[in-house]
Structure 1
Amino acid sequence: MGHTPSDTIAVVGAGVMGRSITALALGRGVHVVLVDVSEEVLGNARAEIAQQLRHGQFMGAFPGSPAPGTLTTTQSTSDVADAAVVIEAITEDASLKARVMADISSTVPAGVPLITNTSGIPIAELAKSVQRPAELAGVHFMNPAYLIEMVEVIRGPQTGDDAMAAILSVLERLGKKTVVVRDAPGFVTSRLLHPMINEAARVVAEGTASVEAVDRLMHGCLGHPTGPLRTADLIGLDNLADALRLLAERTGNPTFEPCELLMEKVRRGDLGRKTGRGFYDYGKVLS
């Protein structure tokens, strides 16, 4: 590869979050090995990451304008073995994540920390699949990762001091502000944000206020940056429904179950910005 491990990270999963995390790292001058099972997905990811890099540069997200890192794409997880840290960023599916984490864990040498990018699956649950639970922690990157400065870092019950120090050092290199929290379903941000979005959708379904009115009130009165329903469209309504089901299941609280309006939109395929329509109409499908 030609790079030293300290300036190379591996990202496993070239979906929405994997692309965004990759753009963040490249923009900060860090080299990235991006892994996915699909060559087609990797090809599309390359084009979108280049676009995100340009957007990040335009928005001043990479201070000092370092020379961008190089991107290597591969379909083989064996190519992650030389990275300083491996970030798993596949879809938010606990059993799929567990399988991928087991594969990565058997590939990387001892001492290389593993990060799972999750919005709410308990780290203790995923730690059962890895060979060295002390080297696993969670990082909940917000989308787009190259623009949102803060991340939620989740220390699992078995996460060791060395891994935590290494992970915080990598995040600092990526320009992130960090808040470390303890392990729990939904952690802090999802535990608070996702049920709020669910309630906002219920308010609309009950006819109390329109989508626009809910968001304007939350923005104007309570300082929410975009409003909960516009935020839902950015997250993806299918992802949101999955996260809410996970919260309901893991906490035993049935009020977290996704409401009917949300499920109706998911069934119709109106999943938010990525499909062109969710709570708002965006006019065209985003590629």
Structure 2
Amino acid sequence: MAIKKVGVIGAGVMGIGVGQSLAQGGYEVVLIDINDQILEHAEREIRSNLRLFKMLNKGVELDIAATLGRITFATDYEHLSDADFVVENVVENWEIKKAVHLKLDAICPAHTVVAVNTSAISITRVGSLTKRPSQIVGMHFMNPVPMKPTVEVIRGYHTSDATIATAKELLAGMGKKGVVVQDMPGFVSNRVLMLTVNEAVFLVQDQVASAEEVDTIFKECFGHKMGPLETADLIGLDTILYSIEVLYESYNDSKYRPCPLLKKMVDAGLHGRKNGKGFYTYE
């Protein structure tokens, strides 16, 4: 299927990254969120990110004005009435995602493929809401999106081979590769990562080591670019807690029990980079 116009729902950190990467790949993009203030912030962030990309990649040609010109910032879903593909990036909350996908199903044309950018929510469950379950696919982008070359692509129970091929085609246009996995809670990346992060929080809670010491061991002993607690701050501690709670509920396995310190930090509003303080403090 020829993909020309791509909708991106949610102009947070992930939506900004996905929208930027699509525009850099030459796609016409509609970035949708609930108000103009959020969209104005998204436009500023994308402009800044493109300038930084151009600065760090001097051998790569990039017309910032033309790239931004391929993005329409909007609050009205009617802009998606002729979209070929949609990537949904709203918060990891089932009721919110449900409402968005019902709206997309009503507005998007019959051929549109809809991707769920999620770390834990069932692709099969989302597909069951719609009249197009074979065209619902998971695409778990990693943050920061423009810098990550690989995307976890999740096949729901009804997801067709044609939909998988279309998702891979879209990713190839963004300069990315898709690795296809099956629809089980947490998929591959989060089923492993959330356990690692949660156990790292237990280490801090039990005073085995400080956050800095835990991260240093993972970076200097294992060669990780970021430690698990730096990664948690980047993702957002509220998102980490929600994901581990979904895994705990889904598998009924005590190994996924959320660390009390993680719950306490989220209750205190310490969500990481997104609001300036988590395991580390950010200016």
TM-score exceeds 0.5: yes
Give the direction of change, closer, same or farther, for the CA distance of 1:62–1:56 in structure 2 (3 Å limit): farther
- 1:140–1:152 Cα contact (<8 Å) kept: yes
Give the direction of change, closer, same or farther, for the CA distance of 1:53–1:7 in structure 2 (3 Å limit): farther
Give, in whole Å, the separation in 1 of the partners of 2:235 and 2:177: 21
Equivalent positions of 1:1-287 (< 5 A) are 6-60=3-57, 63-65=60-62, 67-68=66-67, 70-282=70-282, 284=283
Which residue identity is paired with 2:81? A
Give the direction of change, closer, same or farther, for the CA distance of 1:122–1:42 in structure 2 (3 Å limit): same
1:60 is displaced (CA, Å) by 2.9
SS of the residue corresponding to residue 112 of structure 2 reads: coil
Give the direction of change, closer, same or farther, for the CA distance of 1:130–1:55 in structure 2 (3 Å limit): farther
SS of the residue corresponding to residue 151 of structure 2 reads: strand
- 2:194–2:240 Cα contact (<8 Å) kept: yes
Give, in whole Å, the separation in 2 of the partners of 1:92 and 1:196: 20
SS of the residue corresponding to residue 281 of structure 1 reads: coil
> More displaced, 116-125 or 26-35?
26-35
Which residue identity is paired with 1:19? I
Which residue identity is paired with 2:216? R
> More displaced, 59-68 or 113-122?
59-68
TM-score w.r.t. length of structure 2: 0.94
1:224 is displaced (CA, Å) by 2.1
Give, in whole Å, the separation in 2 of the partners of 1:189 and 1:65: 32
SS of the residue corresponding to residue 245 of structure 2 reads: helix
Which residue identity is paired with 2:5? T
- 1:92–1:118 Cα contact (<8 Å) kept: yes
1:27 is displaced (CA, Å) by 2.1
Give, in whole Å, the separation in 1 of the partners of 2:158 and 2:185: 16
1:58 is displaced (CA, Å) by 2.8
What do residues 218-251 of structure 1 show as CA deviations (whole Å, max 9, x unaligned)? Answer: 1122222211000000000011111111111111
Give, in whole Å, the separation in 1 of the partners of 2:49 and 2:80: 23
Gapped regions of structure 2 (runs ≥ 5): none
Alignment: residue pair count:
279
RMSD: 1.7
- 1:28–1:62 Cα contact (<8 Å) kept: no
1:64 is displaced (CA, Å) by 4.8
1:202 is displaced (CA, Å) by 0.3
1:62 is displaced (CA, Å) by 9.7
What do residues 87-115 of structure 1 show as CA deviations (whole Å, max 9, x unaligned)? Answer: 11111111211111111011111121110
1:61 is displaced (CA, Å) by 10
SS of the residue corresponding to residue 146 of structure 1 reads: helix
1:161 is displaced (CA, Å) by 1.5
TM-score w.r.t. length of structure 1: 0.92
SS of the residue corresponding to residue 121 of structure 1 reads: coil
- 1:27–1:62 Cα contact (<8 Å) kept: no
Give, in whole Å, the separation in 1 of the partners of 2:150 and 2:59: 14
Give, in whole Å, the separation in 2 of the partners of 1:55 and 1:94: 35
Gapped regions of structure 1 (runs ≥ 5): none
- 1:7–1:84 Cα contact (<8 Å) kept: yes
Give, in whole Å, the separation in 2 of the partners of 1:222 and 1:35: 40
Give, in whole Å, the separation in 2 of the partners of 1:208 and 1:75: 48
Which residue identity is paired with 2:273? R
